[in-house]
A and B are shown apart, each in its own frame.
Chain A
Amino acid sequence: GAGVSQSPSNKVTEKGKDVELRCDPISGHTALYWYRQSLGQGLEFLIYFQGNSAPDKSGLPSDRFSAERTGGSVSTLTIQRTQQEDSAVYLCASSLWGSSYNEQFFGPGTRLTVL
């Protein structure tokens, strides 16, 4: 596909369970970002990958959150022992180094609901 894709689109889980969210960036994009957006709020930065460099994890809210990016492409965001406050839309974006603006292209998001 031409755009960023994410799966699942919706995830409902019980408190204490682990969840994995997947992001497929635009082919060839070197940078990948994860954000969290609560209802009616702005974007909260979580983590960023750039090529083979060590990821910037400065936005991860706790050690229950982790992410990896395999082969410089697909990324998985894992939330362990989910809590109700983790409920939000998780957005993934990618960008291409050297493009005119380095603008970020967003996926449709995963809506996570923790019961």
Chain B
Amino acid sequence: GQNIDQPTEMTATEGAIVQINCTYQTSGFNGLFWYQQHAGEAPTFLSYNVLDGLEEKGRFSSFLSRSKGYSYLLLKELQMKDSASYLCAVRDEPGNYQLIWGAGTKLIIKP
């Protein structure tokens, strides 16, 4: 079956660094997405990885290891506004518009 696992909830301190992990077991792989969703709002696109390695975008970085079925989202210099849920999603086949979604990780930032 298709499965994506993320921790349910994480807590971190303002100014610190946090790593949110995502592991996946899918029939195929053609890209992994991270989305941010603030409470009561729609998800917004953060990052996309299709090749192994680290993609950096400002304070946010995303890493992928296809052989391990593993990704993480790294958030640096945490700000209170980073409190949100972070959703991991996988496209399992090329040209497949549908994504397989994880349940999301709720990140709580404390001062």
Contact = CB atoms under 8 A, between A and B. Distances in A.
Given A101-B31, A101-B33, A103-B33, A45 B45 contact: no
Contacts of B99: 104
User: Per DSSP, are chain B's interface residues mostly helix, strand or loop, or mixed?
Assistant: loop
Given A41-B103, A42-B102, A101-B33, A31 B42 contact: no
- Give the size range of B's interface with the partner: 10 to 19
Contacts, number: 46
Interface string A37-52: 0001111010010100
User: Per DSSP, are chain A's interface residues mostly helix, strand or loop, or mixed?
Assistant: loop
Contacts of B87: 42-43
B31 A95 contact: no
A113 B31 CA distance: 35
Contacts of B102: 42
A42 B103 contact: yes
A77 B106 CA distance: 28
Nearest to A107: B42
